[in-house]
């Protein structure tokens, strides 16, 4: 698992090292690693290190010191380094002296002094910074045309929440010191590629994690010697309606593609589902559907009294249940249906549905918001977005950065619900099933979008069609035995 740590946790881990090591050791350790990444980036982009030009954007905090020390190390490798000081009187003294001693220049920050660098280091603010860039820094960043390497976190992006509420840096590469921070997953598009420099921190187990591809591949259910269609998991799908039959088709298709078990469908779109997926066992109602090991309920099912009765019947079982789409709207009117439910329950809202459930949108601090709902209702929650979050009632959160927003298309959530429900029916815990399903779903969307010479918009059926390829790629990451 890739672990992400809050700024408070990182500072706590740094404290004993700062107390034990000579002053400045930890900063120089971080800066040396930063300089190595920058040198590698220069070599990749320009074919050389010596003779290249780097500009440092230097704020008043320790991130500015990191940038100055990195500039000193780069200068010793033949790089021409100019530091643009946003607060000359508050620049890190030892770092500034090191840069000047190595032959680097330091000037007061102004856009016309950026010059024509091969690369820019963003050392404006670090993990102590909050809020947007101040006007002088914003003007400087606006003038950049070269690739940007951010020091620990992109300036202007909240390191704990990934929130941006004004001018901020968008980096091509971000070099994280000691630990990944939430921003590196929650605002991945702002961070670019993230490189981790080990500075010797000892950290506790994280409560915000991302599963690696090999871990997803290792847990994905595949048939074993004694398996049959029942032992691999039977998922029931209660989705679609006369008005929205496609939701039943897409949700069932996601389930069919996810595992080798069995899919039961219950609803008025049975004919359309069977026409597309003849392997599905279909019935006209939940009562007639037969036994399953997990249920998916809600996509395209409507929000009227009949839909509410069906939702209540599904939730009255002692089986794992995933509630999505219209089911969430019904649930928002009567949360008691799940608040005291003993069996595992997974809610899968997008931001608007989350607002209906809680009365507020989750944008400012999405991790805190999803944790609060999971704890308050004692359910698992998958909050959709480019960075999908999956929270357990105990506060543990999986995060999955989709690597793009190709899945932002009508019906994609129906496919995801089917995939995750099928994984739940195999016996997988709801949070792990949601994390695995979200990763495969995002990968399938990216494969569908990039199927030709250039990426192009896709439809939900394209995601479903690429799920098998996505699972094969995830399983290809398994280590050889």
User: Could you read off the pLDDT of 166-188 as tens digits, one per residue?
Assistant: 999 999 999 999 999 999 999 99
Share of the chain above pLDDT 90, in %: 93
- Model confidence at 481: pLDDT above 60: no
Same domain, 171 and 263: no
As a whole number of angstroms, the distance between CA 251 and CA 277 comes to 11
pLDDT tens digits along 92-130:
999 999 999 999 999 999 999 999 999 999 999 988 888
Percent above pLDDT 70 for the chain = 99
Q: What pLDDT score does 53 carry?
A: 98
302 and 322, same domain (yes or no)? yes
Last residue within a domain, chosen from 178, 206, 234: 206
d(CA 429, CA 422): 12
pLDDT over threshold 60, residue 147: yes
What's the rounded Cα separation, in Å, for the pair 31 and 82?
16
Tokens, residue 98:
């090191």
Domain count, the chain: 2
Last residue of a domain, one of 174, 206, 238: 206
Same domain, yes or no: 38 and 185: yes
Range of the domain at 253: 213-476
Binding residues for K(+): 63, 122, 155
pLDDT mean over 342-365? 96
| Nearest partner of 269 among 293, 237, 232, judged by Cα | 237
pLDDT, mean of residues 14-38: 96
CA distance to 162, 165, 257, 369, per residue, from 355 (Å): 19, 20, 31, 10
Residues 442 and 308 in one domain: yes
Q: Are 252 and 271 in contact (CB under 8 A)?
A: no
CATH number for 66: 3.40.50.10260
Mean pLDDT of the chain: 96
User: Which residues contribute to the annotated binding site for AMP?
Assistant: 384-388, 413
Judge whether 481 lies within some domain: no
Q: Pick out the residues of the known binding site.
A: 62-66, 122, 126-132, 152, 155, 247, 300, 350, 384-388, 413-414
**What band does 137 get if pLDDT is binned at 50, 70 and 90?**
very high
- 235 & 186 share domain: no
Q: What is the pLDDT of residue 451?
A: 80
Residues 178, 258, single domain; the answer is no
CB 365 within 8 A of CB 187: no
Beta strands across the sheet bearing 80-85:
105-108, 80-85, 53-58, 119-123, 148-151, 173-177, 193-197
How far is residue 73's CA from residue 28's CA, in Å, rounded to a whole number? 9
State the first-to-last Cα distance of the chain, in angstroms, to the nearest integer. Answer: 20
Domain assignment of residue 112, yes or no:
yes
Tell me which of 185, 206, 227 is where a domain ends: 206
**Residue 370 scores a pLDDT above 70:** yes
What local confidence, expressed as pLDDT, does residue 225 receive? 87
Q: Given this model, what pLDDT does residue 373 score? A: 98
Give the pLDDT band (50/70/90) at residue 480.
Answer: low
Q: Are residues 159 and 284 in the same domain?
A: no
Per the listing, tokens 């090591």 go with: 21
| Residue 31 forms part of a structural domain | yes
* Whether 187 and 280 share a structural domain: no
Binding residues for (6S)-NADPHX: 62-66, 126-132, 152, 247, 300, 350, 414
Do 269 and 339 belong together in one domain? Answer: yes
Q: Are residues 71 and 164 in the same domain?
A: yes
Same domain as 146, residue 110: yes
pLDDT in tens, 188-236: 999 999 999 999 999 999 999 999 999 999 999 998 888 888 889 999 9
Query: Is there a single domain that holds both residue 293 and residue 333?
Result: yes
- Look up the CATH number of the domain holding residue 316: 3.40.1190.20
| pLDDT band at residue 392 using 50, 70 and 90 as cut-offs | very high
Question: 442: how many CB neighbours lie within 10 A of its CB?
Answer: 24
Contact (Cβ atoms closer than 8 angstroms) between residue 89 and residue 106: no
- pLDDT tens profile 298-320: 999 999 999 999 999 999 999 99
Mapping DSSP to helix (H, G, I), strand (E, B) and coil, where does residue 196 land? strand
Q: Radius of gyration of the chain from Cα atoms?
A: 25
DSSP string, 215-259: HHHHHS----TT--TTTT-EEEEE---SS-HHHHHHHHHHHHHH-
Phi, psi of 225 (to 5 degrees): -55, -40
């Amino acid at each position: 698992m890739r672990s992400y740590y809050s700024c408070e946790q990182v500072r706590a881990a740094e404290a004993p090292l700062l107390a034990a090591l000579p002053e400045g050791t930890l900063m120089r350790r971080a800066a040396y690693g930063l300089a190595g990444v920058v040198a590698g980036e220069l070599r990749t982009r320009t074919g050389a290190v010596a003779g290249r030009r780097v500009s440092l954007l230097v704020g008043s905090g320790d991130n500015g010191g990191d940038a100055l020390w990195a500039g000193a190390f780069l200068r010793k490798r033949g790089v021409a380094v100019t530091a643009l000081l946003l607060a000359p009187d508050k620049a890190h003294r030892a770092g500034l002296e090191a840069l000047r001693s190595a032959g680097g220049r330091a000037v007061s920050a102004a856009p016309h002094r950026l010059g024509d660098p091969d690369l820019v280091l963003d050392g404006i603010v670090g993990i102590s910074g909050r809020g947007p860039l101040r006007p002088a820094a914003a003007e400087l960043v606006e003038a950049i045309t070269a690739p940007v390497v951010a020091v620990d976190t992109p300036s202007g992006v909240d390191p704990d929440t990934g929130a941006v509420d004004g001018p901020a840096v968008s980096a091509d590469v971000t070099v994280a010191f000691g630990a990944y921070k939430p921003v590196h997953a929650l605002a991945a598009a702002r961070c670019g590629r993230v490189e981790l420099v080990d500075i010797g921190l000892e950290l506790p187990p994280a409560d915000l994690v991302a599963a690696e591809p090999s871990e997803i591949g290792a847990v994905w259910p595949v048939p074993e010697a004694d398996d049959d269609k029942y032992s691999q998991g039977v998922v029931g799908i209660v989705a679609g309606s006369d008005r929205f039959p496609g939701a039943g088709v897409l949700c069932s298709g996601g389930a069919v593609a996810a595992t080798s078990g069995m899919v039961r469908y219950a609803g008025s779109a049975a004919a359309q589902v069977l026409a597309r997926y003849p392997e599905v066992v279909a019935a006209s109602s939940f009562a007639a559907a037969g036994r399953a090991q997990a249920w998916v309920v809600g996509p395209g099912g409507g929000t009227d009294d009949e839909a509410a009765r069906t939702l209540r019947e599904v939730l009255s079982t002692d089986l794992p249940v995933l509630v999505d789409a219209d089911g969430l709207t019904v649930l928002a009117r009567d949360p008691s249906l799940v608040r005291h439910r003993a069996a595992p329950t997974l809610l899968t809202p997008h931001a608007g549905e989350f607002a209906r459930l809680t009365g507020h949108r989750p944008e400012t601090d999405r991790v805190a918001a999803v944790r609060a709902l999971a704890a308050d209702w004692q359910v698992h929650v998958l909050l959709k977005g480019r960075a999908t979050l999956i929270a357990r009632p105990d506060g543990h959160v999986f995060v999955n950065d989709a690597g793009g927003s190709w899945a932002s298309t009508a019906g994609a959530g129906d496919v995801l619900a089917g995939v995750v429900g099928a994984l739940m029916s195999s016996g997988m815990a709801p949070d792990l099933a949601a994390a695995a399903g979200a990763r495969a779903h995002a990968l399938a969307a990216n494969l569908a979008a990039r199927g030709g010479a250039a990426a192009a918009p896709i439809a939900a059926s394209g995601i479903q069609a690429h799920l098998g390829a996505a699972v094969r790629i995830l399983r290809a990451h398994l280590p050889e035995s």
